[in-house]
């Protein structure tokens, strides 16, 4: 137990950049790194990996990441927590252990699992209605392929208490990756939290995790203020946020010296409000956070003080994200040149729709967008008048077919190539003619907490 802990942000998603993490380890005086590899849809990507190879199902970037970071971490005593285990935390841990052993590195690795609740979701008469629509799970039960509850920080605390250098989990609440090291290092009460002070400290820790879980987004990356983003220095060498957290819960958000990005009132405030529905009731497995009295004080020099988070006891339910087979997708992108580019695009679209109907190719949706015109904002971006569109040098169109029949998706790309010689003049592109992919739908629901049991295993030391 100590008076203060410094914890740094790892990745913010599967595929993020880990060089800023190296800077935090080398120059940021951190004791812990917490790395979030699982965006909301990442489990669907990992499920496709697992379908191809049962040994996969984890975020594979964790292996090269730790090969880069462990030689920096080891001499400094820095410990690492991540959720890169995805659908196969043991597989991830074993892959990391095997890779590090090739360089004669032998860290103590802990594995947190127990989040897999698929068998419970598949059982008859068990509820699990869709959180948003209220739909009954029976509509997708036979098509479910994964289901994972969001665990809290407790098993991470236990792993660190046992001396783990690296903790690899499956699905846990993002901010719990950061709360676990804080509870461990600062001696806070978690499972036995009872007093207002206990819950307020946990709320401060949860807020820290929320501010750090998105890597560079908490230190000036993805900063959208009009006229201000240009003033964020050196994003190419951004420093990921670091939190210095004291035993009473007071926290300071900063970053490693000599790195790019910016930590100030505005960049921290933007991240604070990210993905927040009700700021007075931000639910997590460990504490319900009330942000209503949070104060951010900009101390200058890339340092912001955080105080005022209030906490309440968590609910008796955990969130679950499940995935189900939801048909197939195929898409093609192609374009037309001036003159009359817009009219050509409209005519070509009509030809594709006619072919789908004439060939009796069933589909659930045919999505159309125009890259460079409305891809980013969809219906919120009104198109210019047709006359102006027809004077543009080129217009591109992206058509995406969603269908329950794989053969229809496989055949979608064959509806296009003939236009190269026989369609409206001056076409080009035809990207993605053979790119059928299976779709996995997402089913968010709730599960009683007492039906989920986290498990902790320590790997046997490598030879």
Q: What is the mean pLDDT of each run of 10 residues along the chain (463 residues)?
A: 91 98 99 95 94 97 99 99 99 98 98 98 89 94 97 99 99 98 98 94 99 98 88 97 98 99 97 96 98 98 99 98 97 97 98 98 98 93 93 97 98 97 95 94 97 97 76
Cα 191 to Cα 371: distance, rounded to the nearest angstrom? 50
Cα 56 to Cα 271: distance, rounded to the nearest angstrom? 32
Nearest of 285, 324, 401, 326 to residue 43 by alpha carbon: 324
Cα 70 to Cα 79: distance, rounded to the nearest angstrom? 9
CB 68 within 8 A of CB 22: yes
Q: What is the pLDDT of residue 463?
A: 66
Q: Report all structural domains of the chain as residue ranges with CATH numbers, in order of start.
A: 4-115+150-315 (no CATH), 323-442 (3.30.70)
Cα 5 to Cα 15: distance, rounded to the nearest angstrom? 27
Could you give the angle at the alpha carbon of 32 between the alpha carbons of 301 and 313, nearest 5°?
Answer: 95
Q: What is the pLDDT of residue 124?
A: 86
Q: What is the CA radius of gyration of the chain?
A: 25
Q: What is the pLDDT of residue 1?
A: 60
Nearest of 252, 107, 81 to residue 181 by alpha carbon: 81
The tokens of 272 are what? 């604070």
Does the predicted model carry a pTM greater than 0.75?
Answer: yes
Could you give the angle at the alpha carbon of 167 between the alpha carbons of 163 and 168, nearest 5°?
Answer: 155
Length of the chain as a residue count: 463
Cα 196 to Cα 183: distance, rounded to the nearest angstrom? 16
Q: What is the pLDDT of residue 39?
A: 87
What backbone phi and psi angles, to 5 degrees, belong to 312? Answer: -135, 160
Nearest of 172, 142, 135, 174 to residue 155 by alpha carbon: 172
Please name the residue that has the structure tokens 């790195």.
259
Strand 109-113 relative to strand 166-169, pairing: parallel
């Amino acid at each position: 137990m100590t008076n203060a802990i410094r914890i740094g942000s790892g990745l913010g998603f599967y595929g993020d950049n880990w060089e800023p993490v190296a800077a935090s380890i080398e120059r940021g005086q951190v004791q812990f790194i917490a790395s979030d590899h699982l965006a909301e849809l990442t489990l669907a990507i990992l499920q496709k990996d697992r379908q191809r190879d049962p040994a996969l199902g984890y975020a594979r970037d964790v292996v090269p990441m730790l090969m880069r970071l462990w030689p920096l971490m080891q001499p400094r005593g820095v410990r690492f927590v991540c959720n890169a285990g995805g659908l196969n935390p043991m597989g991830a841990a074993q892959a990391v252990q095997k890779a590090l052993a090739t360089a004669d590195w032998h860290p103590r690795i802990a594995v947190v699992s127990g989040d897999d609740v698929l068998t419970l979701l598949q059982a008859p008469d068990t509820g699990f209605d869709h959180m948003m629509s209220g739909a009954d799970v029976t509509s997708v039960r036979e098509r479910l392929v994964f289901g994972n509850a969001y665990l809290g920080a407790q098993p991470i605390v236990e792993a660190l208490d046992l001396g783990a250098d690296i903790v690899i989990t499956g699905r846990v609440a993002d901010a719990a990756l950061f709360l676990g090291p804080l509870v461990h290092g600062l001696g806070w009460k978690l499972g036995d939290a009872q007093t207002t002070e206990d819950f307020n400290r946990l709320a401060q820790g949860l807020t820290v995790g929320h501010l750090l879980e998105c890597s560079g987004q908490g230190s000036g990356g993805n900063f959208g203020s009009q006229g201000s983003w240009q003033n964020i220095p050196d994003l190419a060498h951004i420093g990921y946020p670091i939190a210095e957290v004291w035993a009473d819960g007071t926290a300071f958000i900063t970053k490693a010296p000599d790195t790019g990005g910016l930590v100030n009132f505005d960049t921290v405030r933007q991240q604070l409000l990210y993905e927040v529905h009700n700021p007075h009731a931000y639910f997590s497995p460990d504490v319900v956070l009330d942000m209503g009295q949070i104060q951010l004080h900009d101390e200058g020099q890339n340092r912001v003080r955080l105080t005022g988070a209030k906490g309440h006891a968590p609910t008796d339910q955990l969130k679950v994200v499940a995935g189900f087979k939801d048909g197939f997708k195929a898409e093609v992108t192609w374009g037309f040149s001036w003159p009359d580019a817009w009219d050509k695009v409209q005519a070509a679209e009509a030809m594709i729709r006619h072919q789908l109907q004439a060939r009796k190719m069933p589909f659930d949706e045919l999505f159309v967008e125009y890259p460079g015109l409305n891809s980013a904002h969809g219906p919120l971006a009104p198109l210019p008048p047709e006359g102006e569109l027809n004077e543009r040098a080129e217009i591109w169109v992206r058509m995406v077919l969603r269908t329950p029949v794989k053969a229809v998706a496989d055949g979608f790309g064959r509806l296009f190539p003939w236009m190269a010689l026989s369609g409206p003049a001056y076409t080009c592109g035809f990207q993605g003619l053979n790119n059928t992919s299976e779709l996995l739908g997402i089913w968010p629901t709730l599960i009683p907490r007492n039906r989920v049991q986290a498990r902790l295993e320590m790997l046997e030391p490598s030879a």
